Structure 1
């Protein structure tokens, strides 16, 4: 039969194909083995030398460094509903306060812009950036627009961010990530933490094969790369650049930090910074959320206590083959083709070795897939010969080929090593079950990488130049972390809905409101609503309760729960404590970031209520002021004792005085001399200063002395002194007596 002859010829030719494939796989396998040996030698050496002499660093080291301002950069194209989740998760989980999130949006993406606007209303440290060009452009172009907006914000707030952090909208960050960056950013210029994909269902092999690749890459390969050559490829997320690094990139790019034509601008930056001699580091820093004894009760079999608690970035990766292929083809084009065109080879043979490892994937993806195909074909022939009656017996391709047999045995051993290595590293973080599943997922991974390779090569050929290939954004999922707060409603509309104000009154108030006063403050000062009505409206806006407080009656032991600096910084007064639960009063809603920071700093479960206007301001001046002034209540009591005003008007005079007290910061913001976000950043810097706020603002060039003097004069016009209040009520009582005498 003629097909037997054809098959025999095919198997004969296949033998030489197998030899070529086996040689390349052997070379690649020994290449991987070198990294394995270096890693384990280094692991043993550090375990029995360094860590015997020096204790391992823990989170106390991170907490010992004062918070520096950090900027998080997020590109957002069609990310509706995601930014709010990320900001909410960051506010609730990050053990850090001095950070700002800058979200890059596009003019032709109004849904995402609307979503970011709502988030900005709730989170004062979130800022919307609108890119100059319609999207999608590229991640690098979006980041350049974001960086420009950060520069403008720095000028308004007169601060300089110490670190610039790359994240995607769908990232979930570790609580101590910013603490780690804060600790290292003065000494290192590129800081990268591991990326660990979220688990999906065990049978979702497409989405789960990412955990195999990232785990081994970020637990073994990149740490060895950093140790050997001091160069770290950024992962695009969980990367912090020092200010020196950003300035170097701007100079190097003639004012453009990120290469807009690169599909993997993150990978590109690592080489650019290395060329300029800047320091890069890949950090695996474990910070356990619970003690080892508690962790033992809930751990997954095979997990490592230290390795499963490293500071890292978590996110979902694509779970469809076509999406995974698109994403990986972008990586291949950026790393292999664009990387070679842009950087070529260097004079450092060690760095060239790792460049070879980056680029060999364009070959290994094909050879690995070819090996799978060959194995499949040989299995079909074996099944035919073993189970088909009267089957033909073909000469084995391994007959009389000592070279091929030797290569195959070497490859079997190298493959066994690969399986063991991957199982170890996957198990350390995800448990032994996932470690064992990494073997079948390896086969699917080879297939996806082959398709991605093919697509990448086709795109490069079609464009003629790898730098012309367009950016192809990958859509990710964001994990469900609970419902986030709704968009904040305007206080004027709330007061109208509550019946405290009519629509004509609201319109009139908006037209007549003097400068230096918020709408609610003006409505109380003009007598159109009461302080209680304003407190109820603000409480509904913040979705919390309201209260009327008298700080003079609070117990000293309750006031001592909050230190002076914290009380003044957040403008809060403790009013109730039950066990570990503390309720504080404030005149305006605390942001989620501020509330979380209060809980961390006080180590208590803190909630807040809205107090009537002026009550917290007067309470802070009486209970927490750094510089004591005359006690207004004593002044009032003295006036009553001397008969200037009657006892019956005491409460009315005190309420009038309190409700008209206003803080300097509110005046400056309302006058437009500093915006709310910049003022929040300034307060964090002021917390470590002993200067009064106004003097601090002038000394650091945030406002001029003329501006401060004008703001103080406006404040004096808005808030009367107690002597003014006494004179007012003295005049009212005198007028009443005269009117009463005329009636008699």
Structure 2
């Protein structure tokens, strides 16, 4: 047989393959066209019947709802160098305060665990959860450990979380994300936000093709899916579950909420909740205010829709190397398609089955699209050979004489043009025209990535003894440049030693024999080992701020009026002065970034704080803002000076000593270990709305027993000193009260 005969046979086989591929692509193209038509018809219908009659909801409506406690769950395996930046960005970006981040780590991943511990030193609302088994197990197993830790935290604190939010350590959160969840969580059981990949350089096609796929998927496909069937697949990030949903999942799984044998438990969970009758929603909520001027820091991008680009969403970097992308996508294919066939059976709902088919058809169309590319390249090569080589052999087209095949190819060509137009439109709407145009060449590269991911998923499934027991395929994560992240906080004792205020032996003695009810710094002052000024300087260095004496000066009433009483008492701060638009506050301790950001939001102005020596803020808080005023210490001391019972110099020393021995109840409770900082901060948010004293409020909330409160109050009285006691020691106490 001559080579010509072999080539003719090859062309015949090529034609047969082309027919099969063309049919597959045609069916898939019609499927995609149906979704396109549904989207545009729905969009036009809503524009005419809904938005023409009702104004679209303004984002400011989200701000009027009281903050409910929300828990963010972050599984972390080998996330060293990433997790701290995520917590820092959340603290400084989120327009919300009543949230806690629970990060799941593994006992055999000490670097990530050390990172989390460092973050906890800066952010009291961050909690470390060490999984029971060494990693990597599965994302679901890690989340189950995290969920168990959340329930334990609830028992300790008396807090009941309203929403449970999934995030990864590389996620960049939108400012109003938690506000939106807070607004919806009472009415919806699964709330999913769009995911938009962060941009990489245009030359990086691997990272760029994620932009194209998610821009179309989360602007059109999932919108239609929710409208038609009311079922929303979780993206694994930016997903909020109601308490009702989590409780139902625990009951369904006999105490296990997330399926530990699934590689895509977030996808599966949307179907399980739908079967349980839960309400699911995919939310595209724009924060565009037409009345506000454009942000000068945001570059203008031709073709970009200001409204579409302002939706509350999750941003993150996706893999930028071919190998990493194939690993990640093969895990998705394994979980959604291969494992999905075993775990998610076809249902009685034709519409839901249709979307199951759409989820699974990629296993076939990924191959078909890539083979179509190879086929086209071969046909182009033959055509170029016949055009460019003199006296070349002339072969009939493999489509010659089959009109129906020409019609099929023409239809596929039209469907392909529609596919390109749809993708370019949605990419342009969010990222601008440059990225929209780049989506065309990236379409070909995406076909290669998906083809290789398909092969890898199939190979892994064939090699696995049980496809439901496959390890967590880790994807390395990048995070946007935000500086160095939280810096390592130096221990207070080491700072005092470095400053020469304390010796190593004195520090060890204080640590070995702590004073009940006092934290280290206060205990050192009470033992007269350091002065309040030395303590303030050390705390200021630890916080990275300055410090300043308040001394005997009184904060004027007009300055005190700049800070509402409930905020002053909640954050244990007093206002000192205004510096332009900035309000300067004094605190005796480090203000964590979450509280600092919350103060700025609530005051609607920039806030700077500095450290004041121990007791000075406490005394002014009681004088200016306390619901119940205690001993009139200043008046008693003034009476003693006026009666010449003490000299002016003695009065200064008495006042300094008196102030240094004043304590807040919260410090005593924390030093005793009766309540931790995260719990206290969360309860203080609710205390703002209460008229009860802090102690009574904590008892009523179940955070303390009455016996524990009584113990703390007795200890506070023992550790504090009153002015009457000091004057009595000098035999200078007045016989009658000042009030008389």
Query: 1:397-408 alignment to 2 at 5 Å?
Result: 397-408=398-409
Whether 1:195 aligns to 2:195 is yes
Query: 1:180-259 alignment to 2 at 5 Å?
Result: 180-259=180-259
For the residues of structure 2 that align with 1:473 and 1:512, how far apart are their CA atoms? 46
For the residues of structure 1 that align with 2:72 and 2:11, how far apart are their CA atoms? 58
Which residue does 1:520 correspond to in 2? 521
Which residue does 1:433 correspond to in 2? 434
For the residues of structure 2 that align with 1:690 and 1:416, how far apart are their CA atoms? 66
User: 1:4 Cα deviation (Å)?
Assistant: 2.1
For the residues of structure 1 that align with 2:426 and 2:515, how far apart are their CA atoms? 65
Query: 1:525-540 alignment to 2 at 5 Å?
Result: 525-540=526-541
For the residues of structure 2 that align with 1:290 and 1:325, how far apart are their CA atoms? 41
Map Cα deviations across residues 212-267 of structure 1 (whole Å, 9 max, x no partner).
00110000000111111110000001111111111111111111111111000000
In the alignment, structure 1 segments of 5+ residues that lack a partner are: 733-744
Is the 1:209–1:445 contact (alpha carbons within 8 Å) kept by the matching residues of 2?
Answer: yes
Is the 1:552–1:619 contact (alpha carbons within 8 Å) kept by the matching residues of 2?
Answer: no
For the residues of structure 1 that align with 2:471 and 2:539, how far apart are their CA atoms? 48
For the residues of structure 2 that align with 1:157 and 1:331, how far apart are their CA atoms? 38
User: 1:565 Cα deviation (Å)?
Assistant: 0.8
Whether 1:597 aligns to 2:598 is yes
Is the 2:136–2:471 contact (alpha carbons within 8 Å) kept by the matching residues of 1?
Answer: no
What SS does structure 1 have at the residue aligned with 2:51?
Answer: helix
For the residues of structure 2 that align with 1:138 and 1:512, how far apart are their CA atoms? 44
User: 1:465 Cα deviation (Å)?
Assistant: 4.0
For the residues of structure 1 that align with 2:643 and 2:711, how far apart are their CA atoms? 35
Which residue does 1:93 correspond to in 2? 93
Which residue does 2:457 correspond to in 1? 456
Query: 1:415-564 alignment to 2 at 5 Å?
Result: 415-550=416-551, 553-564=554-565
Is the 2:640–2:732 contact (alpha carbons within 8 Å) kept by the matching residues of 1?
Answer: no
Query: 1:580-729 alignment to 2 at 5 Å?
Result: 580-729=581-730
- CA distance change for structure 1 residues 731 and 493 in 2, over 3 Å: closer, same or farther? farther
- CA distance change for structure 1 residues 640 and 487 in 2, over 3 Å: closer, same or farther? same
For the residues of structure 2 that align with 1:536 and 1:516, how far apart are their CA atoms? 22
Higher helix proportion (structure 1 or 2): 1
Whether 1:395 aligns to 2:399 is no
Is the 1:550–1:619 contact (alpha carbons within 8 Å) kept by the matching residues of 2?
Answer: no
Which residue does 1:737 correspond to in 2? none
What SS does structure 2 have at the residue aligned with 1:501?
Answer: coil
Map Cα deviations across residues 366-407 of structure 1 (whole Å, 9 max, x no partner).
111111111111001100111111011101112110110000
- CA distance change for structure 1 residues 562 and 731 in 2, over 3 Å: closer, same or farther? closer
What SS does structure 2 have at the residue aligned with 1:489?
Answer: coil
For the residues of structure 2 that align with 1:332 and 1:463, how far apart are their CA atoms? 15
Which residue does 2:737 correspond to in 1? none
What SS does structure 2 have at the residue aligned with 1:199?
Answer: coil
Which residue does 2:171 correspond to in 1? 171
Task: State how many pairs are aligned.
Answer: 733
Is the 1:65–1:182 contact (alpha carbons within 8 Å) kept by the matching residues of 2?
Answer: yes
Query: 1:246-325 alignment to 2 at 5 Å?
Result: 246-288=246-288, 293-295=293-295, 298-325=299-326
Is the 1:292–1:305 contact (alpha carbons within 8 Å) kept by the matching residues of 2?
Answer: no
What SS does structure 2 have at the residue aligned with 1:547?
Answer: coil
Query: 1:66-215 alignment to 2 at 5 Å?
Result: 66-215=66-215
Aligned-residue CA RMSD in angstroms?
1.6
Which residue does 1:365 correspond to in 2? 366
User: 1:501 Cα deviation (Å)?
Assistant: 1.3
- CA distance change for structure 1 residues 470 and 647 in 2, over 3 Å: closer, same or farther? closer
What SS does structure 2 have at the residue aligned with 1:609?
Answer: strand
For the residues of structure 2 that align with 1:38 and 1:305, how far apart are their CA atoms? 24
Which residue does 2:738 correspond to in 1? none
What SS does structure 2 have at the residue aligned with 1:216?
Answer: helix
- CA distance change for structure 1 residues 551 and 67 in 2, over 3 Å: closer, same or farther? farther
Query: 1:8-23 alignment to 2 at 5 Å?
Result: 8-23=8-23
Which residue does 1:412 correspond to in 2? 413
User: 1:493 Cα deviation (Å)?
Assistant: 1.5
Is the 1:656–1:725 contact (alpha carbons within 8 Å) kept by the matching residues of 2?
Answer: no
User: 1:665 Cα deviation (Å)?
Assistant: 0.5
In the alignment, structure 2 segments of 5+ residues that lack a partner are: 734-740
TM-score (norm 1): 0.96
For the residues of structure 1 that align with 2:448 and 2:398, how far apart are their CA atoms? 25
User: 1:464 Cα deviation (Å)?
Assistant: 4.8
What SS does structure 1 have at the residue aligned with 2:315?
Answer: strand
Is the 1:645–1:730 contact (alpha carbons within 8 Å) kept by the matching residues of 2?
Answer: no
For the residues of structure 1 that align with 2:543 and 2:730, how far apart are their CA atoms? 35
User: 1:646 Cα deviation (Å)?
Assistant: 3.3
Is the 1:285–1:310 contact (alpha carbons within 8 Å) kept by the matching residues of 2?
Answer: yes
Map Cα deviations across residues 502-560 of structure 1 (whole Å, 9 max, x no partner).
22222222334320011111211122211111111111111110011158522222211
User: 1:577 Cα deviation (Å)?
Assistant: 0.7
What SS does structure 2 have at the residue aligned with 1:278?
Answer: coil
What SS does structure 1 have at the residue aligned with 2:575?
Answer: strand
Is the 1:551–1:623 contact (alpha carbons within 8 Å) kept by the matching residues of 2?
Answer: no
Is the 1:230–1:279 contact (alpha carbons within 8 Å) kept by the matching residues of 2?
Answer: yes
